[in-house]
Amino acid sequence: MIDERQAVAAFAALGQEHRLRIVRALVTAGPDGLAAGALAGEVGVSGTNLSFHVKELSRTGLIQSRREGRSIIYSAAYTPLSGLIEFLMRDCCQGRPEVCTPAVEALAACCSPTGITTHV
């Protein structure tokens, strides 16, 4: 479970427009991730700039990387991202489920009945 210190670091990392775009692109790409060059093109940054941003996102645990041959593949770290969402929603209802219902419905809408995630 994510704690407040981790949440603050994660939100600070996501508070920059290119980093938010990187995470969204990687979530959309799915578990296979994207090669560094493709990711840079997807979010509209140079390779050097991408390296700077993924370093911060990796430090907070929101993304991960692996080497495949000569390429570095980046992917979303779904467990920490889910933990961040859980951190926000943990105490949201306070006995009033109508408060959480819109968020729960929005999350449910992105998953098909077969359990395959569709990306918007």
Ramachandran sector of residue 61 (left: φ over 0; alpha: ψ -120 to 50; beta: rest) = left
At 63 the pLDDT is 98
Query: What letter does residue 31 receive in the DSSP assignment?
Result: T
Domain count along the chain: 1
Is 24 part of a structural domain of the chain? yes
Interatomic CA distance for residues 24 and 19, integer angstroms: 9
Strands (DSSP E) found in 4-120: 34-35, 63-68, 71-76
At 119 the pLDDT is 47
What distance lies between CA 6 and its chain's CA centroid? 14
Q: Domain of 67?
A: 4-110
Task: Judge contact between 23 and 81, C-beta under 8 A.
Answer: yes
Give the pTM.
0.83
Is 74 part of a structural domain of the chain? yes
CATH at residue 47: 1.10.10.10
At 92 the pLDDT is 75
Is 119 part of a structural domain of the chain? no
Is 120 part of a structural domain of the chain? no
Positions of the chain with pLDDT lower than 70, given as ranges = 111-120
